[in-house]
Structure 1
Amino acid sequence: MRTLVDRALAPEHRRGHGALYGGLNHGRIDVARLRRALAGLPLPRAADGWLVLAVDVSPWLRPDADTSSDRAFCHTFGRGEGKHPMVPSWPYSVVAALETGRTSWTAVLDAVRLEPGADVAAVTTVQIREVVQRLVAADQWKDGDPEVLVVLDAGYDTPRITHLLGACPCRSSAACARRVMRRPTPPRIYDPKGGRPPKHGGEFVFGEPASWAPNRRAPSSAWSWRSCLAAE
């Protein structure tokens, strides 16, 4: 079955399409229970047991829903050649646990719709704190485990969010503008073959410990988690 209407054609559901949707409209979803259930599912982890959460805003485009309330103008990509218009949408702040390695699969843990004019940093802080609290209650994180790593897009006010999180057992970091995390640039060394010196260090990939090693030509003091996550 591809739609709920298909169930109305089954012998045990001979009530018509209207009755089916009427039953759905009178139903409800226990959002708090759903969030607790998602936090208790097996979650992917990076090397050394790191739990990595990603936070970003994704719009649900609603350009023709003139009667829908709380729409906001969201920046979009790919709607016409060389055009990135602002489209009336419902923006949702989504928190997901990332898989290891390079994959598009994620474990969505929470989603909150942002109202027009909302303080994104404040909403994101509350959302992250509540997600981490549910993970602690579900024994996904215990004392002695590595801090939960929260990865934010470049547009977030990361210093403010880090300050507002306070004693929350997590560490926030902002992705660079190109959305690729790289190690510090190695020092320039004369190459008899010529060529331009490198602009960036090696790429940092979660779940691949081989990419975490410091640059061969860089001094050991230049290597740290902060420099790895902040430098392009």
Structure 2
Amino acid sequence: MTHRTAWTSHTGTLPIIEGTVVLLTVDRLPSGGTARPVWLWWSHPKASSSEVDLIWQAFLRRFDIEHTFRMLIQTIGWTSLKLRDPAAADRWTWLVLAAYTQLRLARTAVADLRLPGERPAPPERLTPARVRRGFRNLRGKAGNPASAPKPSRPGPGRPPGQRNHRPATCHNVHIVTSTKPPNTPKRPKNSANPRPRRTG
């Protein structure tokens, strides 16, 4: 065993930390391939069988959480807007969660538009990504609680040539400076031995 960051100041043999090791194996993946076994370690040395089952189920549950965050970011656009006000960021987060909730609630109301190679799934087991494919057909049939937008003209805006007197607030992002050594000075040219020039 090698020294880790938490044990950089430790000298001598590393201590033995008791725990429970769980071997997680999968017979086959849904795609038909095989998966390598995964070793899980828990700091509880005397885990019961029910606790071991809870550990590997919680480990698999994290994949659902990771896919949810990836859909919120890549598909619904959670981080696409560059918001300046923290309150606006909170409102946008609630709007993204409302859109995700609509995809969850519309599972039984849309048709399963499967891609080539995907297996059919019952309506109650459709993922939000598969619901999103058929949501465009459902959106036209669903009612809209908001009224129709009123026609209006855009505002005059800032006059041409006038500077913005309310610049955006710049927040400190704590940029870590580089630890590279400064550039070494260039060697001065030796005037006593000039480089010969090619003639002819």
| TM-score normalized by the length of structure 2 | 0.25
More strand by share: 1
| TM-score normalized by the length of structure 1 | 0.22
**Does 1 or 2 have the higher relative contact order (CA < 8 Å, sep 6+)?**
1
Larger radius of gyration between Structure 1 and Structure 2: 2
